[in-house]
Amino acid sequence: LYIKSIDRLGRNYAEILEQWRFLTKEKGIDIVVLDMPLLDTRRGKDLLGTFLSDIVLQVLSFVAENERTNIRQRQAEGIAAAKAKGIRFGRPPKPLPENFHSVYQRWKMGEITGTAAAKECGMPLATFRYRAEIYEKAKLL
């Protein structure tokens, strides 16, 4: 089995070790890690070779998990910094239809149902209710 990097075997240290042991010990599969020639189970089948391979595997698995943790932390910090600057995520909301205010007023007074109001505005009922809630909050500010 050829794999590009040791971290392709699992999401964390324990998972990498578990997959490695399962494939090499239980299934008898040779593994070649392309970016780490020391992790090649085709050679070094003696006790010393297995020992060295296990040590390198332990160290690299730990490093891979540590790197993944650092990446997640930096990503979270970047997102927090962007939000602090006022950067918004996701697609921008669609503008309200021009008739929304009048339809909203009629719906609020009970002249039409929510389904009819949503249909007049050209949106699903859940979206109409959501936008109406935001509209009400904006009017209170």
What pLDDT, on the 0 to 100 scale, is given for residue 19? 87
Residues 56 and 9 both lie in one domain: yes
Q: Is residue 126, in this structure, part of any structural domain at all?
A: yes
Residues 80 and 104 both lie in one domain: no
Residues 78 and 9 both lie in one domain: yes
Provide the domain limits for residue 47: 2-84
pLDDT in tens, 77-126: 999 999 999 998 998 888 999 999 999 999 999 999 999 999 999 999 99
State yes or no: pLDDT of 133 exceeds 80: yes
State yes or no: pLDDT of 8 exceeds 90: no
| Domain count for the chain | 2
Contact between residue 17 and residue 61 where contact means Cβ atoms under 8 Å apart = yes
Q: Is residue 16, in this structure, part of any structural domain at all?
A: yes
Q: Is residue 90, in this structure, part of any structural domain at all?
A: no
Residues 55 and 120 both lie in one domain: no
Token pair for residue 76?
């979270």
Residues 80 and 119 both lie in one domain: no
Q: Which residues is 33 bridged to in the sheet?
A: 3
Residues 12 and 73 both lie in one domain: yes
Predicted confidence band of residue 134 (pLDDT cuts 50, 70, 90): very high
Q: Is 40 helix (H, G, I), strand (E, B) or coil?
A: strand
What whole-number distance in Å separates Cα of residue 138 and Cα of residue 141?
5
Residues 80 and 12 both lie in one domain: yes
Measured N-to-C along each axis, helices 114-121 and 100-108 cross at an angle, to the nearest 10 degrees, of 180
CATH number, domain with residue 60: 3.40.50.1390
DSSP string, 88-140: --SPPPPPPPTTHHHHHHHHHTTSS-HHHHHHHHTS-HHHHHHHHHHHHHHHH
